[in-house]
């Protein structure tokens, strides 16, 4: 059975690159009805924090990348690593190294000055006795010659020369295990069948394969995902518009839009752009993962998010937009709002909104009791010329019993015919009076949703504003 893992280091928040790696692992597990494991690689005590662990878990949960096992933490597994390290030393596949850091640096500089590869020379490999007053590290003994072949599911076969590989440290002098060692032990212990990760780890793979073989375990299949770059072809960073997954949540992106965009960074299925989760699970394979680096485009992500908002059910958006209404101080914490009414208001605006935050701001005029006029709109449309039309609309709507869009439209048409004017002559002043702006959804629908009482109050306020000028 397929068993895969996502193994982030909690030295930062879950970002676009990590989230895509998690997604590809999740999709491969779900496609093959396998197991998806979450493992926290927190052995870097100086940079790993509980805050980052919580942030990673929150990001995974928000993206709905549910894991089947874990989260396991490497700091809980030190006894396991120690056992494996002792086994390798007992079998002569690892050894104690007493070289001091300054000695290693001196030899490194000396090798560079002679045009040689700066690798450890193995001088401690055959020591018979420990050196006094020195705390050793444990080094893994690499084979000095031959080749190692990585059979990558995305990149194909890649050959590495063993002579280029160093006798890497697997346990530091303070007793903490190193990355390349813990990764192998964890993957062995958790029966990982496929290692799916970014291709920035590719150079670690031959070292890890040697450790697998030294431990006598079957080597898993590897799939190294191409890097994600910015538009300038540099490694993706905040300056390219990429940020943490939770920041996208807080900005008002939908998780399905993020997932859809992430999967398209390196994977394709014909000309299809937008996928349901079920489609992604059904279609996903490494055959459709490209070998070239993907380019992150924040504008494309924003467009895609707008498509998801546009095609979402207003009832669903009415739940999602609530935190943003509170954040924008459009409603207060704990304030109740009729979800059916809110859904109707959202339905008029969702095609115009790229994010939930934008949608919340757009909803303000529907909810607020006090309209703030755009100054240019006020000067252009709330003036003596529009005053008689606003009064006419106010009086006509006040007598309307059935306050729906169809009957409101009839009122406007009657005024247009009576005054022999264009609809815009009254629609625009009314729009500014009701929304404070010159652009809005259809004015008849807007008035119905705002409701008779608020509509009359706002028209009355607009009339008063003109009279006071």
Q: Contact at 8 Å (CB) between 343 and 315?
A: yes
Would you state the pLDDT for residue 57? 97
Q: What is the pLDDT of residue 118?
A: 87
A 10 A CB-CB count for 428 gives 20
Residue 133 Cα distances to 106, 130, 139, angstroms = 20, 9, 19
Q: What per-residue confidence (pLDDT) applies to 411?
A: 96
Q: 268 — phi, psi (to 5°)? A: -145, 160
| Digit-coded pLDDT (tens) for 213-247 | 999 999 999 999 999 998 887 888 777 777 899 99
- The position carrying tokens 């018979």 is 128
Mean pLDDT of the chain: 95
d(CA 142, CA 126): 14
What are the DSSP E strand ranges found in 216-352?
221-225, 228-229, 294-295
pLDDT-based confidence at residue 299 (cuts at 50, 70, 90): very high
CA 71 to chain centre: 19
Q: Are 176 and 75 contacting, i.e. CB atoms less than 8 angstroms apart?
A: no
53, pLDDT greater than 80: yes
Mean pLDDT of 45-53: 90
Sheet holding 35-40, edge to edge: 3-6, 35-40, 69-73
Distance CA 431, CA 440 (A): 7
Nearest to 452 by CA among 388, 399, 391, 387: 399
CATH 3.90.800.10 for domain 80-171: yes
Active site amino acids:
238
Per the CB < 8 A criterion, the answer to whether 24 and 267 are in contact is yes
Whole-angstrom CA distances from 65 to 35, 134, 190, 283 are 12, 47, 19, 17
Summarize pLDDT for 75-134 with one digit per residue, the tens: 999 999 999 999 999 999 999 999 999 999 999 898 888 888 888 988 999 888 889 889
Q: What is the DSSP string of 281-301?
A: HHH--GGGB-SSPEE--HHHH
Q: What is the mean pLDDT of residues 286-307?
A: 95
* pLDDT of the residue at 409: 97
Three-state secondary structure call for residue 225: strand
Contact 163, 154 (CB under 8 A): no
CA distance 356 to 350: 9
Query: In angstroms, how far apart are the furthest CA atoms of the chain?
Result: 109
State the pLDDT at residue 258: 97
Distance (Å, rounded) from C-alpha 23 to C-alpha 310? 24
Instruction: Tell me the two tokens of residue 306.
Output: 């707008």
Looking at residue 232, its pLDDT comes to 84
**Which class for 215: exposed (0-12), middle (13-18), buried (19 or more C-beta within 10 A)?**
middle
Look at 452 and 118; give whichever has higher pLDDT: 452
Q: What is the pLDDT of residue 112?
A: 86
Cα distances from 140 to residues 85, 93, 263, 406, 461, in angstroms, run 9, 6, 37, 80, 81
**What are the extents of the domains in the chain?**
80-171, 312-368, 370-469
Picking from 141, 146, 89, 136, the residue whose alpha carbon sits closest to that of residue 120 is 141
User: In which band, very low, low, confident or very high, does the pLDDT at 155 lie, cut at 50, 70 and 90?
Assistant: very high
Q: Which CATH architecture has domain 370-469?
A: Orthogonal Bundle (1.10)
CA atoms in the 13 A half-sphere facing the CB of 395: 8
* CATH topology classification for 312-368: Helicase, Ruva Protein; domain 3 (1.10.8)
- In 10 A of CB 363, how many CB atoms? 24
pTM to 2 decimals? 0.91
Structure tokens at 235: 């490694």
Contact 434, 455 (CB under 8 A): yes
pLDDT bin (cut points 50, 70, 90) of residue 302 is very high
Q: Convert the pLDDT of each residue in 311-321 to its tens digit.
A: 999 999 999 99
Q: Are 324 and 425 in contact (CB under 8 A)?
A: no
347-350 long-range contacts, CB within 8 A, separation 24+: 347/314, 348/441, 348/442, 348/445, 348/446, 348/449, 349/441, 350/309, 350/310, 350/312, 350/314, 350/317
Percent of the chain whose pLDDT exceeds 90: 88
């Amino acid at each position: 059975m397929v068993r895969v893992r996502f193994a982030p280091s909690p030295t930062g928040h879950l970002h676009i690159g990590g989230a895509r790696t998690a997604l590809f692992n999740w999709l491969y597990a779900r496609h093959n009805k396998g197991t998806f494991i979450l493992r926290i690689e927190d052995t870097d005590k100086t940079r790993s924090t509980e805050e980052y662990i919580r942030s990673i878990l929150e990001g995974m949960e928000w993206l709905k990348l549910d894991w089947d096992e874990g989260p396991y933490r490497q700091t809980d597994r030190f006894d396991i690593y120690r056992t494996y390290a002792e086994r390798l030393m007992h079998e002569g596949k690892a050894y104690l190294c007493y070289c001091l850091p300054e000695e290693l640096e001196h030899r490194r500089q000396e090798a560079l000055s002679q045009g040689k590869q700066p690798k450890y020379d193995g001088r401690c490999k055959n020591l018979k006795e420990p050196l006094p007053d020195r705390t050793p590290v444990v080094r893994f003994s690499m084979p000095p010659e031959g080749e190692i072949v990585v059979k990558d599911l995305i990149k194909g076969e890649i050959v590495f020369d063993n002579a280029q590989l160093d006798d890497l440290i697997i346990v530091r002098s303070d007793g903490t295990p190193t990355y390349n060692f813990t990764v192998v032990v964890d993957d062995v212990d958790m029966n990982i069948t496929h290692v799916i990760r970014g291709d920035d780890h590719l150079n670690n793979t031959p070292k890890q394969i040697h450790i697998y073989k030294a431990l006598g375990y079957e080597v898993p299949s590897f799939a190294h995902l191409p890097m994600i770059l910015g538009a300038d072809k540099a490694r993706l960073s905040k300056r390219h518009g990429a940020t943490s997954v939770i920041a996208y949540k807080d900005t008002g992106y939908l998780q399905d839009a993020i997932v859809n965009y992430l999967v398209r960074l390196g994977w394709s299925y014909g000309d299809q752009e937008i996928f349901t989760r079920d489609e992604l699970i059904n279609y996903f394979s490494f055959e459709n993962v490209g070998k070239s680096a993907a380019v992150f485009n924040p504008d494309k992500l924003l467009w895609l998010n707008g498509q998801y908002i546009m095609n979402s059910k207003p009832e669903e958006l009415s739940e999602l937009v609530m935190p943003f209404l509170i954040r924008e101080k459009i409603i207060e914490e704990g304030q109740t709002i009729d979800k059916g009414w809110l859904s109707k208001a959202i339905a008029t605006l969702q095609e115009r909104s790229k994010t939930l935050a934008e949608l919340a701001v757009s909803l303000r005029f529907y909810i607020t009791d006090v309209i703030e006029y755009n100054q240019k709109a006020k000067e252009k449309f709330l003036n003596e010329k529009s005053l008689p039309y606003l009064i006419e609309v106010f009086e006509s709507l006040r007598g309307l019993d059935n306050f729906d869009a169809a009957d409101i439209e009839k009122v406007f048409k009657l005024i247009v015919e009576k005054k022999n004017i264009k609809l815009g002559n009254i629609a625009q002043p009314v729009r500014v009076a009701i929304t404070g702006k010159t652009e809005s959804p259809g004015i008849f629908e807007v008035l119905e949703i705002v409701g008779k009482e608020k509509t009359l109050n706002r028209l009355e306020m607009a009339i008063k504003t003109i009279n006071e000028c």
